[in-house]
Copies of this chain bind each other. A is one copy, B any other.
Amino acid sequence: MALLVLKFGGTSVADIDRIRNVASHVQREADAGHACAVVVSAMAGATNQLVSLVEQAWGFKERQLNGGREFSAQYDCREYDAVVSSGEQVTSGLLALVLQSLGIAARSWQGWQIPVYTDDAHRAARITGLDVEGLKGRMLDGEVAVVAGFQGIAPGNRISTLGRGGSDTSAVALAAALQADRCDIYTDVDGVYTTDPRVVPKAHRLDRISYEEMLEMASQGAKVLQTRSVELAMQRGVRVLVRSSFEPPDLGGKATDSALEELGTLVCHEDEIVEQNVVSGIAYARDEAKVTLLKIADKPGVAAQVFVPLAEANINVDMIVQNVSEDGFTDLTFTVQSADLDQALEVLRNARDRIGYLDLRGSTDIAKVSAIGVGMRSHAGVAAAMFNALAEKGINIEAISTSEIKISVLIDAAYAELAVRTLHSLFGLDRN
């Protein structure tokens, strides 16, 4: 017997027929003798509907902003959480009922019932602890625990939510607390691919990927797992299997470790990966925007003048490039999330006197393309090969950022697909 956490996202529970499909996955694992906890998201569309009600209630003023939205003022996130968490509450009850109708003992658990403790950063709370004693006891007695994902309880006995995609984090945190053998994330794809198959038809599914690589893939634009859930899995050593909720598995509950690769992609410690490529995947993101400050003084303290007020406004800055100085002045370019662009520009306009710049420009016509692989640590020349290949295709690099296992370049959005295909091929990831 194994102790498993299964997680199903919004599209997997979009209607009762799909919830029945989820139940058949749970039934398979339960029939194989495993103790199961199932973490569910809200039915697809439900969360958006609830958020829209919150916006209407608050008298939301819509401002078109690169397709994004911004609130005229901050509403009470505790009430947002009370409203929006109801979506997962509904799904958890429905799945428990479907399981019961199949003769499987099951009950729903809300965040406050387990409880899943979080901090008080409502709408984007972090889990601070879980008390799974009661839940685990009932699981070991053969009852499936159906857990409402995305939600917890904050100090003061208020409902909190973990931010969009938070159900992945709920699942991994639960798996860690339960000391589960595995956390299966069921999605609408059958695993983690070397890159987006819609862009590169020759992309292939990875059998295994290390936590570090997955973390970079997730934060560089691959949507399959929420970044925080991967961080947590890495910290706590939770083995995560990304698999499809729609394709019927061939191996059923009897899947052994060696067979897991048939089911999806195992996210695990890199020691568990025998054959390591130099580059495991190519990620890309179009949701960044570029901000350029022209002609700022090139002297100590200027960077702080720029970035401290942005940090205070909770705006994350990603890549930063500073040009060579000329006559004591320089140009500074950096990227932020597209949704934050307008606010970033406003913050910088307000700080213009303190910073001192000639002009301020914002643009969303950019894409970030990244090559990711733990093999880079032991291979020189990866960056050089990458820049060469892009240059050969006439693609101009506007900014570069690197980590030990990742090289990201900022390019004109029009060249994004070409760049991804070029790099996928360059690093030997193409399969037919």
Binding site for B on A (CB under 8 A): 16, 19, 50, 53-54, 56-59, 75-76, 78-80, 82-83, 85-87, 89-90, 92-98, 100-101, 107-108, 110, 112-113, 157-159
- By DSSP majority rule, is chain A's interface helix, strand, loop, or mixed? helix
In the bound complex, what is the Cα–Cα distance between A78 and B143 (angstroms)? 15
Given contacts A56-B16, A86-B86, contact A93 B80 (CB under 8 A): yes
CB nearest to A50 among chain B residues: B90
In the bound complex, what is the Cα–Cα distance between A68 and B383 (angstroms)? 71
In the bound complex, what is the Cα–Cα distance between A169 and B53 (angstroms)? 27
CB nearest to A98 among chain B residues: B57
Give 6 pairs: A residue, B residue, CB < 8 Å, sorted on A.
Answer: A57-B93, A57-B97, A57-B98, A75-B101, A80-B97, A83-B94
Q: Nearest 3 pairs between A and B by C-beta? A: A83-B93, A82-B93, A86-B86
Chain B contacts for A100, CB-based, 8 A: 58, 75-76, 79
Chain B contacts for A158, CB-based, 8 A: 113
A75 to chain B, nearest CB (A): 6
Chain B contacts for A96, CB-based, 8 A: 76, 79, 82
A73 to chain B, nearest CB (A): 9
| Best-buried of A79, A110, A113 by chain B (most CB within 10 Å) | A79
Chain B contacts for A56, CB-based, 8 A: 16
In the bound complex, what is the Cα–Cα distance between A85 and B107 (angstroms)? 16
In the bound complex, what is the Cα–Cα distance between A75 and B97 (angstroms)? 7
In the bound complex, what is the Cα–Cα distance between A101 and B58 (angstroms)? 6
A81 to chain B, nearest CB (A): 8
| B53→A94 contact, CB < 8 A | yes
Chain copies in the assembled complex: 2
A215 to chain B, nearest CB (A): 34
Chain B contacts for A82, CB-based, 8 A: 89, 92-93, 96, 108, 110
A90 to chain B, nearest CB (A): 5
Given contacts A75-B97, A76-B97, A76-B100, contact A19 B57 (CB under 8 A): yes
Chain B contacts for A78, CB-based, 8 A: 107
Chain B contacts for A50, CB-based, 8 A: 90
A321 to chain B, nearest CB (A): 42
A13 to chain B, nearest CB (A): 11
CB nearest to A16 among chain B residues: B56
In the bound complex, what is the Cα–Cα distance between A369 and B93 (angstroms)? 41
Chain B contacts for A75, CB-based, 8 A: 97, 100-101
A38 to chain B, nearest CB (A): 14
| A157→B113 contact, CB < 8 A | yes
| A79→B57 contact, CB < 8 A | no
| Best-buried of A53, A92, A112 by chain B (most CB within 10 Å) | A53
| B54→A94 contact, CB < 8 A | yes
Chain B contacts for A94, CB-based, 8 A: 53-54, 57, 79, 83
Further contacts, 17 of them, CB under 8 A, given A57-B101, A78-B107, A79-B108: A57-B93, A57-B94, A58-B98, A75-B97, A79-B96, A79-B107, A80-B93, A82-B92, A82-B108, A82-B110, A83-B93, A83-B97, A86-B86, A86-B87, A89-B89, A110-B159, A113-B158
| B54→A79 contact, CB < 8 A | no
| Best-buried of A78, A90, A113 by chain B (most CB within 10 Å) | A90
A4 to chain B, nearest CB (A): 22
| A53→B86 contact, CB < 8 A | no
Given contacts A76-B97, A110-B82, contact A57 B89 (CB under 8 A): no
A58 to chain B, nearest CB (A): 5
Chain B contacts for A87, CB-based, 8 A: 86
